[in-house]
Structure 1
Amino acid sequence: MAGRSLLHHLLGWTLGALALVWATFIVVGFATGVHEADELTDGHLASVAGLQAALHDGHFDASTRPDPGHDMPEDLKSHDYQQSMSVVVWDGEGRLLTSTGDAPLPTFDRRTGFADLTLGNPPERWRSFSRWDGPEQTRKITVMLSVEERDDLAWDIALQVASPGLWVMPAIAVALGLAVRRGLKPLHDLSRDVLGLDVQRAQPLAARHPHEEFKGVVDAINTLVGRQQAALARERQLASELAHELRTPLASIALHARGLQGEMAQEERRDSLQRLEDEAVHAGQVVQQLLTLARASRAEMNEAVRPCDLDALARQLLADYAQRALESGHDLGLDSAGPFLLQGHALLLELALRNLLDNALGHTAAGSRVEVQLDAQARWVQVCDDGATQPCPPPGQRFNAGLGLGHRVVEKVAAIHDARFERVPPPPGFSTCYRLSFPPLPELPEEPAAA
């Protein structure tokens, strides 16, 4: 079953909120339009009834025309949309037959249709409509309405119809705010779970975030948590080993120091002094390895990954060790076919090779051969010697921590570079070999062939 999409989830809530507001606006607008149409129709009916009430024997009688300004029975009161129309009737010769309303008497002409008139003193605008009673043109009727009254009516209708729109934007803002908040709830849940992670005792995020957009984030966070836990486990194990490594030489130093305070033979005193010196050197080496590991951790955090050449690094390192190898009687060599480029921390890679060389030179007798071998195609570098007699473990087995803290430094450098550090079967002529294998280079996409 495919995971749900946060985009679709959020769109569903926002579009649902918009549809609800839109449907509400349509319903309210439709109801308002119908209501205003009913009111306008009722106003026309009231206006025509008022005109007919003032008509007697073909002439308008002003004394009987309803006047909205005076008290009258409830059923004769002015309607909201009732308009005060003025009517003028002429005969075919232009003689006034009858009139009603408040409009001043306009000038007679034979034109028909709608027109805008300015009448009275002070001038007032009127909207008029004129027509003849038939082809014989025996009577001309002109109906007039005050432009001011018409505009007031138009504004009243427009406000009534537009009033629902005044709350549409606030309603949309509130509805969208609630919908977006509800749609982003899965993101808030994920943020709360991430904030609740304990760096020291972090558990992987539970797979309760079903949206596709979160899958990559959750996997990346769980990967980081796993790496962090592995790093913390390595640091705790290393701290325990360091404490153990330091405890032994320090206890021996204290023991021999107390022994030197008593009486002993000259030969025993020399042996105690020599042991005291050896244990002090051992403790110093442990502290140096501890500082090296701290330096590696700092470099991992502060230094950017850059291109480096392991071949050039190994050549420079062997040049630095040439004098030491000469003094210890070791045969130091390099087997490399050329440049070995990779992305990494040059300082950390140098620390790893130094520790491998130190172990090889320090644990083999004079006259032993130590060689650094590189294979850029297989992407590994290894240090081999022919002086060790310890049996080699099966391929792929991790090194034994008892071989020294130098290997712990190499393991940490390997972890930083996503590499693998292991003891491997030595090549012919060698008895011990430790290899640092790097991940393969990513494959480049093939270029399309030219047409």
Structure 2
Amino acid sequence: MTAPKVRSIRSRLLRWQFGALLVTAAIAAGVAYFAAWKGFNRVRDHGLEEIAQSVARHGTIEAPRLDNENRPDLGEFVSQVWRLDGQLSYSSLADIGPPLQTPGIHHVIWRNEEWRVFTLREKQELVQVAMAEGKRREDFVELLPSLFLPIGIVLVLALMLRSAVVNALVPLNDMRAEIAAREVNDLMPLRTDRLPDEVAPVGQAFNELMRKVERTLTSQRQFVADAAHELNTPLAAIKLHAQLARRARDEADRLDALVQLEHGIDRVSHLARQLLLLARLEPDMAAPDMEPVALARLAGQCVAQFSAQAEQQGVDLGLQVQADYSVLADPHGLQVLIDNLIGNALRYAPRGSRIDVLMRRDEEGPPELCVIDEGPGISPADRPRVLQRFARLEPEDSSGSGLGLAIVDSIVKQIGGALSLEDTPGGGLTVRIRFAGDQTASKP
């Protein structure tokens, strides 16, 4: 079982800082140790050379011969003087001592012990001074505490860094505590003026998120209120027609009430479908899967679907394809878009008028889909309002839900297009949809 991954910023900072300090201290201690040991040996070797030169200049005085165990310099310096023919003329030991070496510094094993030996040739004799390596190491060990003093300093620095990291993360802890103490409906922004430069962007991003959440909640509350209001009227009408059908005294009145009841149920069903579709188009909902859609084929299917209704109303409904292209979009969303535009145009088209679904593309402009009718049109002042939810230019008009153009506008924004409402030459309304160039591809 693998250990859980460390996610604490403080733990990561301290781990990296302590690790870097320890590695640095170890490297520094190693370098200092080897440099000091090399320098110490150089100084002690120089001391051997000076002793040898002193012996050569001043000569030797025959001292009482003692056992090696009782000589005070045993284990320290051993001095020897040799003639050039190899005969020992003086030794500070009772016996010969380390064997004679050529002039210079040597490393010698004598009596199973390591010795450092310096040999100096002076006139007709050779002066040799030796010192046990063990004694030299003992002397060097006494210097080690001062060499490892930097490690202690590093540890002090590590503690200071730990304190600095903890203090630096206090604003994050305070911000976490403030967020945790909030109630569900508290969407007030955090104060970011006192936050450090590294933490302030987090607080600002949180405040921006709270503003988006507040806008979403406000939109949802308004949506629910509007939906409840819009559903109340047709439901009341359904209840009224049901009562009339139940109280009808003859078959004709009962059938008339039932027909009105059926119309009311159809209106509520249509409104419910529109509400569900509009809810799916909310910005905070997951975006649908996009795929290339052959728009001419889809528009033809939609026109064919409304052809019977158009013929019954005496309206000439047709499709003109000046340029065929595919659109990267949700196929269902595009079908709803075209259905709503055609249905909205048929709702207000007078008998004998014409509705054209036009697909075109200029050489320099984006591809367009236009639905052109010869109905009453919409004044420029009212056009922004008709794109809002449940907007009706005539409040007494109960034939629609007031959601058609709002749904169209939401779908256009979802696919990255642009919607505009324009006057039709000769009277009427032209709904023009411009698709983004990077989301379309011309048919070969």
Q: TM-score, normalised by structure 2?
A: 0.66
Which position in structure 2 is the counterpart of 1:412? Answer: 410
AA at the equivalent of 2:92? T
Give 1:250 deviation, angstroms: 1.1
Give 1:140 deviation, angstroms: 3.0
Of 109, 124, 128, the match for 1:142: 128
Which position in structure 1 is the counterpart of 2:79? Answer: 87
Q: Is the 8 A contact 2:68 2:94 kept in 1?
A: no
AA at the equivalent of 1:412? S
- Residues 218-271 of structure 1 show CA distances to partners (whole Å, capped at 9, x for unaligned) of 998777766665555444333323222211111112122223333546554444
Give 1:395 deviation, angstroms: 8.2
Question: Which structure 2 residues correspond to residues 267-286 of structure 1 after superposition, within 5 A?
Answer: 268-286=253-271
**Cα distance between partner residues in 1 of 2:416 and 2:177:** 31
Task: Report SS of the residue matched to 1:88.
Answer: strand
Cα gap change, 1:223/1:432 in structure 2, threshold over 3 Å: closer, same or farther? farther
**Cα distance between partner residues in 2 of 1:425 and 1:224:** 37
Q: Is the 8 A contact 2:116 2:131 kept in 1?
A: yes
Which position in structure 2 is the counterpart of 1:434? Answer: 431
**167-176 or 301-310, which deviates more:** 167-176
Q: Is the 8 A contact 2:373 2:424 kept in 1?
A: no
Q: Is the 8 A contact 1:310 1:340 kept in 2?
A: yes
Give 1:196 deviation, angstroms: 9.8
Residue 112 (str. 1) matches residue 99 (str. 2):
no
Question: Which structure 2 residues correspond to residues 388-403 of structure 1 after superposition, within 5 A?
Answer: 388-389=375-376, 391-394=378-381, 397-399=384-386, 401-402=391-392
Which position in structure 2 is the counterpart of 1:99? Answer: 91
**Cα distance between partner residues in 2 of 1:420 and 1:205:** 36
Q: TM-score, normalised by structure 1?
A: 0.65
Give 1:58 deviation, angstroms: 1.5
**394-403 or 187-196, which deviates more:** 187-196
Of 322, 339, 345, the match for 2:330: 345
Q: In structure 2, list runs of 5 or more residues that go unmatched.
A: 1-12, 393-399, 440-444
**Cα distance between partner residues in 2 of 1:264 and 1:285:** 31
**Cα distance between partner residues in 1 of 2:179 and 2:298:** 41
Of 111, 117, 132, the match for 1:128: 117
**Cα distance between partner residues in 1 of 2:143 and 2:114:** 21
- Residues 388-435 of structure 1 show CA distances to partners (whole Å, capped at 9, x for unaligned) of 33652348634161262222322322332344445x232214412334
Which position in structure 1 is the counterpart of 2:62? Answer: 59
AA at the equivalent of 2:115? W
How many residues are matched? 394
AA at the equivalent of 2:423? P
Q: Is the 8 A contact 2:245 2:253 kept in 1?
A: no
**272-281 or 182-191, which deviates more:** 182-191
Which position in structure 2 is the counterpart of 1:245? Answer: 230
Task: Report SS of the residue matched to 1:360.
Answer: helix
Give 1:92 deviation, angstroms: 5.5
Q: Is the 8 A contact 2:71 2:93 kept in 1?
A: no
Q: Is the 8 A contact 2:359 2:370 kept in 1?
A: yes
Give 1:355 deviation, angstroms: 1.3
**Cα distance between partner residues in 1 of 2:196 and 2:288:** 37
Q: Is the 8 A contact 2:422 2:432 kept in 1?
A: no
Give 1:316 deviation, angstroms: 3.3
**Cα distance between partner residues in 1 of 2:192 and 2:367:** 37
**Cα distance between partner residues in 2 of 1:379 and 1:127:** 95
**Cα distance between partner residues in 1 of 2:223 and 2:84:** 121
Cα gap change, 1:277/1:231 in structure 2, threshold over 3 Å: closer, same or farther? same
**Cα distance between partner residues in 2 of 1:285 and 1:160:** 90
AA at the equivalent of 1:392? S
Q: In structure 1, list runs of 5 or more residues that go unmatched.
A: 1-9, 70-77, 443-451
Q: Is the 8 A contact 1:356 1:406 kept in 2?
A: yes
Q: Please report the RMSD computed on the Cα atoms of aligned residues, expressed in angstroms.
A: 5.3
Q: Percent identity?
A: 25
Question: Which structure 2 residues correspond to residues 346-385 of structure 1 after superposition, within 5 A?
Answer: 346-376=331-361, 377-385=365-373
- Residues 268-316 of structure 1 show CA distances to partners (whole Å, capped at 9, x for unaligned) of 4444333222212211211222233345459961533334443443233
**285-294 or 221-230, which deviates more:** 221-230
Task: Report SS of the residue matched to 2:344.
Answer: helix
